[in-house]
Structure 1
Amino acid sequence: MRVDLHCHSTASDGTDTPAELVRNAAAAGLDVVALTDHDTTRGYGEAIAALPAGLTLVTGAELSCRIDGVSMHLLAYLFDPEEPELLAERELVRDDRVPRARGMVARLQELGVPVTWEQVARIAGDGSVGRPHVATALVELGVVASVDDAFTGDWLADGGRAYVPKHETDPFEAIRLVKGAGGVTVFAHPGASKRGRTVPESAIAEMAAAGLDGIEVDHMDHDEDTRVRLRGLAADLGLLVTGSSDYHGSRKTVALGEYTTDPEVYGEITRRATGAFPVPGTGGI
């Protein structure tokens, strides 16, 4: 069984529609794929309607959080998407994305970059606008060679020249909200140091004590030494270990299923969840 528990669609900052994502996941030989768009569940309906036979969909989201000034992402799986408290928090984060993106455009213009809000809005389409859309605009303009190259101190990385903060949830509150909605929580790419400052292990231990279920270890932004360290940390803290592609379509080079989660860990995630159930494919449309 091949399980990929971290993928994005055009509902946030991926380039595949939710329908294309599940079809491509089936074509890539996956048995289970998770839809984890940033702070939104808007892609669920389209993905479920198109779900091919033989592929199971795990519904989820990647929640924007911040602790002690460090930005982090929390993967939430199989929660009730209509639970009022968690829904209200997701909407608060999502609603702050547009003014934040406009602010980054303004800062880039001050730096002499001829980017426009209209360009960024076109790239984002119907998705929840975010830094990857601004980064794509920089690629289109020839300012940087790739989206990853935009996430530096010169441009959009945390604290970078064009960086603008947004509302982000305290991770302890996010864990509480997801648990209250029947979901399971996994800290996404905790060792991705090239993105900026990382959360210290002491804080991860505190999150584990507060109910964090797991950490994402096998990820394109973790080198082998980081993976070994994180596996040891997970063992010490009694956390589940996941692996995922963090697929964004053509916006990143990683392929669907390039990193996967052990089927036994996937099974444990489904056993812990009470807010929703994995959706088996019946052929799609």
Structure 2
Amino acid sequence: MRIDLHTHSTASDGTDSPTDLMRGAAAAGLDVIALTDHDTVAGHAEAVAALPAGLTLVPGCELSCRYRGIGLHLLAYLFDPGEPALARERELLRDDRIPRARAIVGRLAELGAPVEWERVVELAGPGGTIGRPHIATAMVEAGVVPDVASAFTPEWIADGGRAHVDKHELDAVTAVRLVRAAGGVTVFAHPMAVKRGRVLPESAVAELAGAGLDGIEADHMDHDAAARRRVRELAADLGLLVTGSSDYHGSRKTCVLGEHTTDPAVYAEIAARASGAAPITG
């Protein structure tokens, strides 16, 4: 059984539509796929409608969070999407993305980088959740940087970079509690991805576990072997589930669907703990 619990579609910053993502998951030999777009569940209905026979969809999202000044991403699975408190926070997170992106494009212009706001909107697509990956792609097209990764540096739009603009982020401990109250399950995404910026100290992971965090992502393209070992050790110490995922974004990243997967027993435990929604099989 092959299970990938971290993917993105055009509903946020992926390049595959939810329909194409479901078809791609089946073609890649996956049995279970989670759709975890950033701060939105907008792609879920299309994904359900496009589910190939035998493929199981785990509805979820990836929440933008902060813990004492450090940004992090929290994967939320199988929560009730209509639960008011969590729905309100997702709306706040999404609403902040457009003014933030506009401000980043403005700073790029001040730095002499010819990125057009209209092109960023086109790249996000109708109804898409605009994010820095869309700006990075526009920077590549404009010849500012050679590739998307080069945009996410201190020179440009990385956290703390010359064109960086802060965004609204949900307090991580609050997020864990909100997801749990909505019947969902939480997993800390790529916790030791040092190339993304500052990482949480292990004491903070322990605090999140105390608040109800269910798991932690170990097998991820941004974790080397030593990081994966340490995540597993930390999970064992704190009683957390361990997941593995591709963090697939289509052509925007080099990873492929199913590049890293989650143990079936862990997936079964995630599904058993959830009460807000259930996996859907085509």
- Shorter-chain TM-score bucket reads over 0.9
Match in the other structure for 1:161: 162
Match in the other structure for 1:44: 44
Contact 1:34–1:59 (CA under 8 A) maintained in structure 2: yes
Classify the secondary structure of the residue corresponding to 1:177.
helix
Amino acid at match of 2:171: D
Amino acid at match of 1:80: D
Amino acid at match of 1:103: A
Match in the other structure for 2:173: 172
Classify the secondary structure of the residue corresponding to 2:170.
coil
CA shift for structure 1 position 143? 1.6
Match in the other structure for 2:24: 24
Residues 1:64 and 2:44 aligned together = no
Alpha carbon RMSD of aligned pairs, Å? 0.6
Contact 1:243–1:259 (CA under 8 A) maintained in structure 2: yes
Match in the other structure for 1:223: 224
Amino acid at match of 1:78: L
CA shift for structure 1 position 69? 1.0
Percent identical residues:
70
Match in the other structure for 2:263: 262
Q: How do 1:68-217 and structure 2 match up within 5 A?
A: 68-126=68-126, 127-217=128-218
1:217-258 deviations in Å (ceiling 9; x for gaps): 000000001111111000000000000000000000100000
Q: Partners of 1:245 and 1:142 in 2: how far apart?
A: 28
Classify the secondary structure of the residue corresponding to 1:221.
coil
1:165-190 deviations in Å (ceiling 9; x for gaps): 11000011101110010000000000
1:138-173 deviations in Å (ceiling 9; x for gaps): 111122222122111111111000110110000111
Q: How many aligned residue pairs are there? A: 281
Match in the other structure for 2:11: 11
Match in the other structure for 2:238: 237
1:180-204 deviations in Å (ceiling 9; x for gaps): 1000000000001101101111100
CA shift for structure 1 position 77? 0.1
Q: Partners of 2:78 and 2:107 in 1: how far apart?
A: 38
Contact 1:212–1:239 (CA under 8 A) maintained in structure 2: yes
Classify the secondary structure of the residue corresponding to 1:121.
helix
Match in the other structure for 2:34: 34
Match in the other structure for 1:274: 275
Q: Partners of 1:43 and 1:101 in 2: how far apart?
A: 21
1:102-149 deviations in Å (ceiling 9; x for gaps): 000000000000111111111111210001001111111122222122
Amino acid at match of 1:8: H
Q: Partners of 1:141 and 1:249 in 2: how far apart?
A: 21
Classify the secondary structure of the residue corresponding to 1:137.
helix
Q: Partners of 1:230 and 1:146 in 2: how far apart?
A: 30
Classify the secondary structure of the residue corresponding to 1:275.
coil
Amino acid at match of 1:84: P
Amino acid at match of 1:151: F
Q: Partners of 2:40 and 2:174 in 1: how far apart?
A: 17
Contact 1:152–1:195 (CA under 8 A) maintained in structure 2: no
Contact 1:150–1:156 (CA under 8 A) maintained in structure 2: yes
Extract unaligned runs of 5+ from structure 2: none
Q: Partners of 1:73 and 1:253 in 2: how far apart?
A: 20
Runs of 4+ off more than 3 Å: none
Q: Partners of 2:230 and 2:271 in 1: how far apart?
A: 26
Contact 1:19–1:50 (CA under 8 A) maintained in structure 2: yes
